[in-house]
Amino acid sequence: MNRALKRRLGGLLLVVAASLASAYGARGFAGRVELRIPAPAFRAKGDTSAPIEIVEYSDFQCPACRAAETPLKEALGLYGDKVRLVFRDDPLTRIHPWAFDAAVAAECAGRMGTFWPYHDMLYDKQGEWVSSKDPKALFRSYAQKLGLRPKAFDACLSSPDAASSVRSDMQQARNRWISGTPTFFINGRRFVGGNQFASLGIHWIDQILKKRISP
Amino acid sequence: MSGQLGDWLGFLGRLAVGGALVAAGALKASAPYQEFAVVIDAYQIVSPAASLAIAAILPWAELVTGFCLLLGDFTRPAAAVAGGLVASFMASLLSAKMRHMELPDCGCFGAAFHPSLGHALAMDAALFILAYAAYARGERLWSWDRWAGGTAREQHG
């Protein structure tokens, strides 16, 4: 092999090696940029060291999100401490006029220590508040039922902080090209809708856990 | 373009186009390819099956082309491919603009950076010109091609 050909092949190898290395190196960078604004701790369930992380982008006014709660809860029950769930808001405000207010109310409940019970209540009573003339009054009444102080809850609802936290999630959803809710990311892989989560998502979780067990 | 200025422009073109392609390729190749397929799908130009295939291949094509340009290895073919890629990106962006599609951003850098369609179009137009400069004169300065056995121009007269 002459010297020029060797150099040509060397150049090609260098290009391939640099391509592989940079794709591998970018993994951490892309992850860090993506999670620049982490969700508040109260919107996460499970151990931070759990091998499976499910990030759910959801809209409290969306019927499909409510329906997806069933397979999601089943998965959390099935996999127990192997799974961590992070809830992210993505209220589809164009079609769901009360979704943003509901997300802010849940955010306030979370800041007062009852995110998950309030989250469950919003989905359980979705039919009630969606068809109500004054959903905000119902949001307050749900907070009261959970023992939250009305004045503090109201103060949070009208403060810009809770709303900006929801907006920040909406921006993240936009950055991730989420066009429908619920959208789940299971260790980075996207599953859209409850059915996809229940079938392909569960299969993906099994695959990840199997890989961890096998030597 | 003539003389040293042209050589420097060619070199600059190589670095700029190569760097942009490497950044775009690495950020997309580092994520599951289905994520990029969502972006391609949103442009509604190709079928979902084609989106998946393109999403699996394109980031690696960008990476290899980008590193060839940075290194100055196979400079002219790499610059031609880069020009083709950039032209196809501009066509996709223009088509989305003409259809008044409301896309979150151009989707060119994965989940890391989010240039608007307009900014991406301007960037691609500049990259297209620089790709031409790289094609015309990119192998003259600090290129692997030169070190490995002479540039294409030198070999062919």
Q: Is residue B93 part of a domain?
A: yes
Query: Residue B97: what pLDDT?
Result: 93
Interface contact flag, B111 A8, Cβ < 8 Å: no
Per-residue pLDDT of chain B (157 residues; tens, 9 = 90+): 567 888 999 999 999 999 999 999 999 998 888 889 989 999 999 998 999 999 999 999 999 999 999 999 999 999 999 999 999 999 999 999 999 998 888 988 887 788 899 999 999 999 999 999 999 998 888 988 888 876 555 555 4
Asked if B73 has any chain A CB less than 8 Å from its own CB, the reply is yes
Asked if B59 has any chain A CB less than 8 Å from its own CB, the reply is yes
Closest approach of A32 to chain B, Cα-based (Å)? 9
Question: Which residues on A lie below 8 Å from B71 (Cβ)?
Answer: 11, 14-15, 18
Query: Residue A33: what pLDDT?
Result: 57
Domain count, chain B: 1
Across the A/B interface, how many CB contacts are shorter than 8 Å? 93
Asked if A207 has any chain B CB less than 8 Å from its own CB, the reply is no
Question: Which residues on A lie below 8 Å from B30 (Cβ)?
Answer: 23-27, 29-30
Region A106-115: mean pLDDT is: 96
Asked if A213 has any chain B CB less than 8 Å from its own CB, the reply is no
Q: Is residue B156 part of a domain?
A: no
Q: Is residue B152 part of a domain?
A: no
What is the pTM for the complete model shown? 0.79
Alpha-carbon distance A94 to A96, whole Å? Answer: 6
Q: Which of B101, B129, B105 has its CA nearest to residue B115?
A: B105
Burial of A19 (0-12, 13-18, 19+ CB in 10 A): buried
Respond yes or no on whether the N-terminal peptide bond of residue A182 is cis (omega within 30° of 0): yes
Question: Which residues on B lie below 8 Å from A190 (Cβ)?
Answer: 32, 34-35, 38
pLDDT digits (tens, 9 = 90+) for A159-188: 999 999 999 999 999 888 898 899 999 998
Interface contact flag, A11 B148, Cβ < 8 Å: yes
Nearest CA in chain B to A8: B148
Region A57-61: mean pLDDT is: 96
- Return the number of other C-beta atoms located less than 10 Å from residue A41's C-beta: 10
The domain segmentation of chain A, as residue ranges, is: 1-34, 42-213
Q: Is residue B16 part of a domain?
A: yes
Question: Which residues on B lie below 8 Å from A191 (Cβ)?
Answer: none
Interface contact flag, A26 B29, Cβ < 8 Å: yes
User: What's the CATH architecture for A42-213?
Assistant: 3-Layer(aba) Sandwich (3.40)
Interface contact flag, A11 B74, Cβ < 8 Å: yes
Structure tokens at B9: 């422009």
Mean residue pLDDT of chain B comes to 90
Interface contact flag, B112 A30, Cβ < 8 Å: yes
Kindly compute the dihedral angle of the four CA atoms of residues A169, A173, A176, A179, in this order, to the nearest 10 degrees.
180
Question: Which residues on A lie below 8 Å from B114 (Cβ)?
Answer: 175
Q: Is residue B154 part of a domain?
A: no
Nearest CA in chain A to B147: A7
Q: Is residue B136 part of a domain?
A: yes
- Return the number of other C-beta atoms located less than 10 Å from residue A73's C-beta: 12
